[in-house]
Amino acid sequence: MTRLFRGAFIVWVVLRYGLDELVLSSFRHPTLRLLTRLVSIGRNLDSPRGERLREALERLGPIFVKFGQVLSTRRDLLPPDIADELARLQDRVPPFPSAVAVATIERAFGKPLDAVFTHFDQVPVASASIAQVHFATLRDGRHGGREVAVKVLRPNMRPVIEKDLSLMRMMAGWVEKLSADGKRLKPREVVAEFDKYLHDELDLLREASNAAQLRRNMQGLDLVLIPEMLWDYCHTEVMVMERMNGLPINKVDELRRRGVDIPKLARDGVTIFFTQVFRDGFFHADMHPGNIQVSVDPATFGRYISLDFGIVGTLTEFDKEYLAQNFTAFFRRDYKRVAELHIESGWVPSDTRVDELESAIRAVCEPYFDRPLKEISLGMVLMRLFQTSRRFQVEIQPQLVLLQKTLLNIEGLGRDLDPELDLWNTAKPFLEKWMVEQVGPQKLLQQLKAEAPHYAKLLPALPRLVHDFLQHKPHELRRELDELLAEQRRTNRLLQGIVWGGVGFLMGLLLMQVLTRVRLW
């Protein structure tokens, strides 16, 4: 019943804001144009279409808002009016009342607001689907007088998300059962991944720990700033962090006016992303413009500022190495190696012909090399990749869904900053250097250092472990030894037979030669 009511509410919102008319109006067929006019009868759809879409997504809740945030980064796929409205979902979702935020803070810290802050801005500086942010100044303790940003979780988020996830699970089950591609697309596994990340985002302590890890990882890069988490003031519903001084990354004209090197900024963004993915296997996975700023402080001028760490992606060593090999082969245009890697990893059936898959990948990718972002039609690339994946039964990898989403964000940011950016040539040197580091002597030395404590504990205990093993498993060892001895005896008999047979054959030849000579004599 919960799913039924939620589904009915979604349908009501779609009709209330005229999203059905919005979809139909994008087609030019006369019959569909007539249907558009018919469905509009009796409804007030005077508001601009982008505004109606944004308001509908806000009304539907956080999952739909996040979908709008992802779309907002792809201006190459959307009309400008819709892209402009969806951009407001990045940090200008209608805020919840400040009184509710204050009550949440006081409940979390167990004391009045004035006992924690000397100043607290009642008007939030940013408001998104899961939380909103207020600026404040701390009162006491070792951080007294420090300017901070206070992130407060929206109330009653969990029930809304649970309803949407329940509906998504049901729909995923339908897709898996009814669609010919259900097994390959793994819809239930994808929803399960989405479920995990959304629930992680509802715990601000987890977000603070994500930020701390990213801050440590990025310390030596000098390209990105990540705010310090003030752990004395972090709670599951409230998170207090260092206040950052920057401009939103989508304010390109203002950044250029202040002297920021925009093409360098675009290249740095690619470097940051690939460093987090391939070096660390731990990456910021919600990189829309609302979460990315550029520092205007003289000491750190022009560096990225990352915010909002509720969603991070992680990769195993296997995933990192496999993806890096794929990217490297791709940048070298070694499509045969790309095809081989897909087969080796099990992403496609083992009986797939390498030459056919190689040819299909080449046909998709080759037209887009050595071209700037402004000349690449991502929609066409995605459509052709989807067709190829269906043809070769490529299985979706749920653990990489976040990475694919983040790649869309990165490309969208790069397109806005520098349409002339060559994404491939920018990333290629980094990946080639990374691959050399993975197989070189430096990597071997690092692995030996990492394993040294384990070996130091193991070696002194090795005689005792061998003794215990021999003492506790005599029957198994005896059986294995008997089998080895029996096999050795069979091998010896075979060798003896071969040797004696060879000797007999030679003796026969010699005897025949002797008899022949006797007759001739």
Catalytic residues: 286
The first and second tokens of residue 118, run together, are 């000397």
CB 202 within 8 A of CB 160: no
Residue positions counted in the chain: 521
Q: How many CB atoms lie within 10 A of CB 17?
A: 23
State phi, psi for 248 to the nearest 5 degrees: -55, 145
Helix H or strand E segment including 500: helix 474-520
Q: Using CA atoms in the order 320, 385, 427, 408, what is the torsion angle rounded to 10 degrees?
A: -90
Listed in sequence order, the residues at least 6 apart from 413 whose beta carbon sits closer than 8 Å to its beta carbon are 73, 249, 266, 269, 287, 289, 292
CB 41 within 8 A of CB 49: no
- Give the whole-angstrom CA distance, residue 216 versus residue 207: 14
CB 110 within 8 A of CB 132: no
The first and second tokens of residue 75, run together, are 């201006």
Q: Which among 183, 74, 198, 184 is positioned nearest to 129, based on CA atoms?
A: 198
Helix H or strand E segment including 512: helix 474-520
The first and second tokens of residue 371, run together, are 């071209």
- Residue 518: CA atoms inside 13 Å, Cβ hemisphere, count? 6
- Give the whole-angstrom CA distance, residue 91 versus residue 160: 20
The first and second tokens of residue 397, run together, are 């990898």
Strands 304-306 and 224-225: parallel
State phi, psi for 143 to the nearest 5 degrees: -105, 10
Q: How many CB atoms lie within 10 A of CB 511?
A: 10
